[in-house]
């Protein structure tokens, strides 16, 4: 499959445990944030997003937390499953720029 | 609805050649963005088009160009290819909301 990053930080978690993936963003003007999941050989897949007027948003098994004070974003995955193994990227955007800036990515490995 | 499609999926070129990659967005999506993904630099924004107009571009040399057609399909072109242009080129489309949908990418290898 495609290699999306040879030197990515790796998070290894036991199946069934919760995972927390962190991301520091750079632009204090960013007002929209997204988490993507990328599996080998595929393009990034949208997981969840959050706007800057919120500090928490929940989806199915996933929660995104936003701390604008320290420019930090996190993705929490509950009851991690083998199918969650992938590379996870955060991305930021600011209104009117029409561009997304991606973080370096974190590889999540789920141990059986 | 069909997803974002990109052609070709794989391409091998030699230094100095040029290449054109194609992207068909999801039906109804008018915004198309292009990204370059490499192990060393990660995902980097190339440009974004909306209704045939480029609204923003990233920090890439002029050898990288793109365009969008009236049916929202987009192409990107890289001229005078260099070894460092080897990468996965991703296209993403979106509608009026911010959620971007990515295609599978075109893997370009420059020899």
Q: In the predicted model, what is the mean pLDDT of residues A89-107?
A: 91
- Give the span between the Cα atoms of B72 and B76, in whole angstroms: 13
Residue A50 Cα to chain centre, angstroms: 11
CA dihedral B95→B101→B104→B105, nearest 10 degrees, is 70
Q: pLDDT digit string (tens) for A68-90?
A: 999 999 999 999 999 999 999 99
Residue to substitute from B3, B11, B42, interface A, most A β-carbons within 10 A: B42
Task: Give residue limits of the domains in chain A.
Answer: 2-111
CB contacts of A3 in chain B (<8 Å) are 39
A3 pLDDT tier (thresholds 50, 70, 90) = very low
* B39 part of contact set with chain A, CB < 8 Å: yes
B55-85 confidence digits (pLDDT tens) = 999 999 999 999 999 999 999 999 999 999 9
Phi, psi angle pair for A84, to nearest 5°: -85, -10
Which CATH class name applies to A2-111? mainly beta
How far is residue A83's CA from residue A87's CA, in Å, rounded to a whole number? Answer: 12
């Amino acid at each position: 499959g495609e290699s999306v990053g040879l030197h990515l930080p790796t998070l290894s978690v036991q199946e069934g445990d919760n995972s927390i993936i962190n991301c520091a963003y750079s632009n204090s003007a960013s007002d929209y944030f997204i988490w993507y999941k990328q599996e080998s050989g595929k393009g990034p897949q949208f997981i969840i997003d959050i706007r800057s007027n919120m500090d928490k948003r929940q989806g199915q098994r996933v929660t995104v937390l936003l701390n604008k004070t320290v420019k930090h974003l996190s993705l929490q995955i509950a009851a991690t499953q083998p199918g969650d193994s992938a590379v996870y990227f955060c991305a930021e955007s600011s209104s009117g720029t029409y561009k997304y800036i991606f973080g370096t990515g974190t590889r999540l490995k789920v141990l059986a | 609805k069909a997803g974002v499609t990109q052609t070709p999926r794989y391409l091998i070129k030699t230094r100095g050649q040029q290449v054109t990659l194609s992207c068909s967005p999801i039906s109804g999506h008018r915004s198309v963005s292009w990204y370059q993904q490499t192990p060393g630099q990660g995902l980097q924004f190339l440009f974004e088009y909306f209704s045939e107009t480029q609204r923003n571009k990233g920090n890439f040399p002029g050898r990288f160009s793109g365009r969008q057609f009236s049916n929202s399909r987009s192409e990107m072109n890289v001229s005078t290819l260099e070894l460092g242009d080897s990468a996965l080129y991703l296209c993403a489309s979106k509608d009026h909301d911010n959620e971007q949908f990515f295609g599978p990418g075109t893997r370009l290898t420059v020899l």
